[in-house]
Amino acid sequence: MTGIVSYGSYIPYRRLKRAAIAEVLGVAATKGERAVASFDEDSVSMAAEAARDAVRAVGAEQIRTLLFATSTPPYAEKLNAAIVAAAARLPIESRAADLTGSVRAGLSALLQAADAAAGGGAPALAVMSDCRLGAPEGRLEQASGDGAAAFVLAAGEGVIAEIVASASFTREFLDTWRMPEERFGHSWEERFALTQAYVPLLGKAIQSVLEKSGVAPAALARVILDAPNPRAAEEVARGMKLGPAQLGDTLALTVGQAGAAHPGLMLTAALPSLKPGDLVLLAAVADGADALVLRVTPAAAKFRPAHSVGRMIESKGDVSYGNYLKWRQILPTEPPRRPDPERPAAPPMMRSEKWKFGLVGSRCTACGTPQLPPQLVCVKCRTRGKMEAYPFADRTGRIATYAVDRLAYSLNPPTVNAVVDYDGGGRFLCEMTDCEPDRVAIGDEVEMTFRRLFTADGVHNYFWKARPKR
Amino acid sequence: MASKGIRDRVAIVGMGCTKFGEHWDKGAEDLLVDAAYQACESAGLTPDDIDAYWLGTMGSGISGLTLSEPLKIQYKPVTRVENMCATGSEALRQACYAVACGAFDVAMAIGVEKLKDSGFSGLVVTNPPNDGTPAAMTPPALFSLLAPAYFKKYGLDPDKGKDVLSRIAWKNHRNGARNPKAQFQKEVPIETIKNSPKIADPLGIMDCSGVSDGSAAAIVVRAEDAHKYCKNPIFIKALSFVAGPAEGPLSPEYDFTSFPEVVASARDAYAQAGISNAREQISLAEVHDCFTPTELVLYEDLGFSPRGTAWQDVIDGFFDLEGRLPVNPDGGLKSFGHPIGASGLRMMYEMWLQLRGEAGQRQVSNPKLGLTHNLGGQPGRCVSFVSVVGNSMG
């Protein structure tokens, strides 16, 4: 039996109301709101958040394959998956690849991870994440959302959703495209792809996977369909004569369509409500189609994600359209009269890989004091060289004191910094994110989150921040 | 305590200090030559009479050439020192030890900083290449960490706390208004201070020291030679400098209401000078008021106020010019300005004037012992300097 053994998901804290876009631009508003990656997030940082939750149940050291799917990679050249692997503290003995160029990459990653797990025996991690950027006034700007999902796939025990069968179809056609140097994509007239590609390809993939698995549409407990044009999914669902109970929440009103992450995000949203034995059809179309039938196992009843999709939908704060435009650097602003941040240097970054990317500090084995960053001489007993690695990423803490910095360089001033005292020991002075500066208080509970602090000279500087516990 | 001190073995026989402020028409070299000549003239010397120099600057030049080149020093030792915002005090300390040990007869300590050429607001520090993880906090934000912690620990309502901080700035501006060399020579109404634009809550722009250009210099000799150069020298009673283990950002035991480095350097300095009760024995003090909460916490760390009571002393006017222990009578970093490398020597310049009765309309009556305190870094991670000086031996 090969299938999903654990999963994680991530929806950024900020929401942009579609009416707020419409109000500024004078265009028609669609309903609801979309999730927005904060100024310090991108597809890699969100992938790291989902991946950390996914590997927690399995143990990061078990993973031997990482596939990172996104249509918005922060680096065009340089392995983005390696950053996700470092943040999730995956072992160095692993295969890793970026799957990009199409939102179809999400299900491709899931299926290839399943193949890797089935063939090699070791668990494989598929992470799908996207930070979709639509040009102002376009459909994509309102309809899309940002988010990530991650799945650990393995063969044998512990599978919570078994892959019963899969089917994939690939055809060459032109609907959505973007050149490497372009920020915003282009689309062909929508009736063409809807009628000639999306509906037929999605239908074909579904028909094929249902035949392979010997399952009738009526026997499916849940059907999760995703298409660049949601009308394609609706049309296919009508053709299958599915009941409303079989179709789950598309997250369109709360998150928006999260590109490569969307099919995975819908699956992680659905899984907690499914019972052992339930059959799930997961199918997505974009530059081709992929479909899977999954069977929920008894092991699913025991699995609880650290941050459920439902919880992350509820945990939110608004962003104004003006700030959104600044965060995405669609709206240029006057630089502050402070020096630009300096790019981090490669040798120190490699020396401190476990600290910088994994938030691994040290613990003195002579006196037991946890400390971060990792120290050479113990801050407490001053013993030299008796440190062991001590990870802080999954620890919560409380604010001892804080500062609201209105002078520091930031895309989202003011910068809030907090002195965090961790449960179990250790203190760290770091930046806060996803918080409302006037509501931060001494004693607040915080958790750690992997972020992109800034980009300087084309180098993304990733590190950790504290955020109010979600 | 390991430090033995050089009480009454070294005297300052000449000092100089430029006006601090925005010197758009002067570079570091202009300021250095000006301060050096002022110091020489006040001691009746020429640069040729100085045997060795210690130059303090954080970023306005590297090496002794920064001084020897403009001053045309004739093949003599010039040591450039740096110890963050305590750089000027560090230059003085090294010069004092050099004459105390007999290696030189006459030494000059000089500090300079030219901050207004950077094109940026506030202080700009360049870090060595790093992994991109150190918190990129501005100095006001780092020092603002003290405020909520102090208010909470001592049950001060934030509004009341803000009043206390504003009063510290008000006092320093009031003193600076009486100082022709200060950057800001104007009294500022307390309401203006309180409502100034926020920089790092609860700190407004008026809680921050002035970004400034300037230079100050001192000439030191062995105490037994002092009267050869000067009728009324001032004597070094104590010099203490400590660097901490930077425990604050690492250890939950640190509570951001104190600078342990200051406590340690004050204890050391008081032992050297034979001071048992600083609140009673110190006549006046210049302390490192980079931001208003710093000065508040320093009152307690230096032993001027018992723990948790400095805010009450502030309200009572204890540290005002007419108070029992005037602090920052020259206006402090707040009003005199803070050209980093010069500030420690500027503090000593006020002692030079006050202890010799030359401080004009801000003269403190009959001072005997003065204290300067200079720190560099941030709460929980800093270097601290404390000196005690007096106008008589013994």
A392 and B CB contact within 8 Å = no
How far is the C-alpha of B176 from the C-alpha of A28, rounded, in Å? 60
Interface test with chain B among A427, A461, A464, by most B beta carbons within 10 Å? A427
Q: A41-54, pLDDT tens digit by residue?
A: 999 999 999 999 99
Tell me which residues of chain A, numbers 399 to 438, contact chain B at a CB-CB cutoff of 8 Å: 400-409, 414-415, 417, 419, 421, 425-431, 437
Yes or no, beta carbons of B131 and A349 under 8 Å apart: yes
**For residues B92 and B143, what is the distance between their CA atoms, to the nearest angstrom?**
26
CB–CB contact B199 A337 (8 Å): no
pLDDT for B366 equals: 95
Q: What pLDDT shows up at residue B304?
A: 98
Contact B200 A403 (CB under 8 A): yes
**Average pLDDT for residues B316-335, to the nearest whole number?**
97
Answer yes or no: is pLDDT of B1 > 70: no
Q: Which residues of B are catalytic?
A: 85, 338
Q: Which residues of A touch B145 (CB under 8 A)?
A: 401-403, 417, 419
Contact flag A430-B135 (C-beta cutoff 8 Å): yes
Name every residue whose Cβ is closer than 8 Å to that of residue B233 and which is 6 or more positions away in sequence: B11, B12, B13, B223, B226, B227
8 A C-beta contact, residue A355 and residue A89: no
pLDDT at B315 exceeding the cut of 80 = yes
Residue range A37-87, pLDDT digits in tens? 999 999 999 999 999 999 999 999 999 999 999 999 999 999 999 999 999
Paired strand residues for A257: A144
Q: Does B136 touch chain A (CB under 8 A)?
A: yes
Instruction: Calculate mean pLDDT across residues B303-308.
Output: 98
Residue B110: name the closest of B79, B131, B138 by CA: B79
Q: Per-residue pLDDT averaged across A438-463, rounded?
A: 95
Nearest to B314 by CA among B115, B127, B161: B161
Residue range B32-50: mean pLDDT, rounded: 97
Determine the pLDDT at residue B276: 97
Q: Which residue in chain B is spatially nearest to A354 when comparing CA positions? A: B131
Provide mean pLDDT across the span A409-415: 88
A336 or A456, which is more confident? A456
- B251 and A417: CB-CB below 8 Å? no
Location of structure tokens 């650290």: A306
Residue B202 pLDDT > 80, yes or no?
yes
Would you say residue A119 has pLDDT above 90?
no
How many pairs of residues across A and B have Cβ atoms under 8 Å apart? 125
Mean pLDDT confidence for A433-460: 95
Among candidates A371, A401, A415 on the partner chain, residue whose Cβ is nearest the Cβ of B256? A401
- HEC sequence for A226-245: ECCCHHHHHHHHHHCCCCCC
Residue B217, pLDDT above cutoff 60: yes
Q: Is the model's pLDDT at B122 over the cut of 80?
A: no
Contact predicate A417/A440, CB 8 Å: no
Please name the residue that has the structure tokens 């240097």.
Answer: A345
Predicted confidence (pLDDT) at residue A205 exceeds the cutoff of 90: yes
pLDDT tens digits for range A303-354: 989 899 999 999 999 999 999 999 999 999 888 777 788 899 999 999 999 9
User: Distance from B377 to chain A by nearest Cα, in Å?
Assistant: 15
What is the pLDDT at residue A341?
A: 86
Do residues B35 and B17 make contact, with C-beta atoms less than 8 angstroms apart?
A: yes
Q: What is the mean pLDDT of chain A?
A: 95
- The pLDDT of residue B2 is 65
pLDDT score for A334: 86
Q: Averaged over A249-268, what is the pLDDT?
A: 97
**What is the mean predicted confidence (pLDDT) over A422-443?**
95
Distance from CA of B333 to the nearest CA of A (A): 19
Residue B6, pLDDT > 90, answer yes
CA distance B82 to B190: 35
Is the CB of B200 less than 8 angstroms away from the CB of A407? Answer: yes
**Interface contact B250-A371, CB threshold 8 A:** yes
Q: Hey, are the CB atoms on B131 and A342 less than 8 Å from each other? A: no
Instruction: Work out the pLDDT band at A152, boundaries 50, 70, 90.
Output: very high
| Interface residue B135 vs chain A (CB under 8 A) | yes
CB–CB of A442 and B152 under 8 A? yes
The answer to whether residue B361 neighbours chain A at the CB level (below 8 Å) is no
Residue of B137, B146, B152 with shortest CB distance to A408: B137
* DSSP strand pairing (A65-69 vs A95-99): parallel
Angstroms from B203 CA to nearest CA on chain A: 9
Nearest CA in chain A to B131: A349
Mean of pLDDT values over B139-167: 95
Q: How confident is the model at residue B240 (pLDDT cuts 50, 70, 90)?
A: very high
- Give the pLDDT score at A120: 66
